[in-house]
Amino acid sequence: MDNGRKRMHWKTWKALCKPKCLGGMGFRELESFNKALLAKQIWRIMIHPESLVARVLKARYFKHKDILEANLGNNPSFIWRSIIWSRQLIFKGVSWRVGNGKRIQTFRDKWIPSYQTPMHEQGNQEQYKFVSSLIHEGVCETPKIK
């Protein structure tokens, strides 16, 4: 106290976001928390495309595309801007389960985890448009050990 008056003790936001056990107040970093919640909505839209919110957003913003391929578009709502803003979190963590490879485009999609960017286009693009064209579907016999 200074002459009987209480004083304000200013702290940085970074210090306030530290856990209480480390001397902070335990506040969450609101921007990161918000981005994570929005990314969770994208994930829900991908997993439950029949939900009302998924159908409404699809009809308005990504009629003929996947939510991961959608553009910001003209005159987007605040919600759509926010979803697009958080989509980079999904791109960082999502990976393909190749399966039969019929939905993964060889040269456009990031389907090989160790590569940071999609494969460079080489050779006949139409022949190898989908990963399925790289998979031999014939039955493979395992050699018998004698």
Tell me the per-residue pLDDT of 21-55, one tens digit each, with 9 for 90 and over.
Answer: 998 888 877 888 899 999 999 999 999 999 999 99
Rg of the chain, C-alpha, whole Å:
24
3-class secondary structure, 130 = strand
Structure tokens at 12: 């940085």
- Rounded to an integer, what distance in angstroms lies between the CA atom of residue 67 and that of residue 80? 11
Tell me the per-residue pLDDT of 44-85, one tens digit each, with 9 for 90 and over.
Answer: 999 999 999 999 999 999 999 889 889 998 899 999 999 999
The domain ranges of the chain are 29-93, 95-135
Q: Hey, how many other C-beta atoms are within 10 angstroms of the C-beta on 67?
A: 20
Over residues 111-139, mean pLDDT: 71
Whether the Cβ atoms of residue 60 and residue 52 lie closer than 8 Å to each other: no
- Rounded to an integer, what distance in angstroms lies between the CA atom of residue 112 and that of residue 117? 9
Structure tokens at 139: 């039955």
- Rounded to an integer, what distance in angstroms lies between the CA atom of residue 16 and that of residue 136? 56
Residue 123 has pLDDT above 70, yes or no: no
**pTM, whole model, 2 decimals?**
0.58
Structure tokens at 8: 């304000």
- Rounded to an integer, what distance in angstroms lies between the CA atom of residue 43 and that of residue 68? 10
Q: Give the residue among 30, 25, 38 at the shortest CA–CA distance from 82.
A: 38
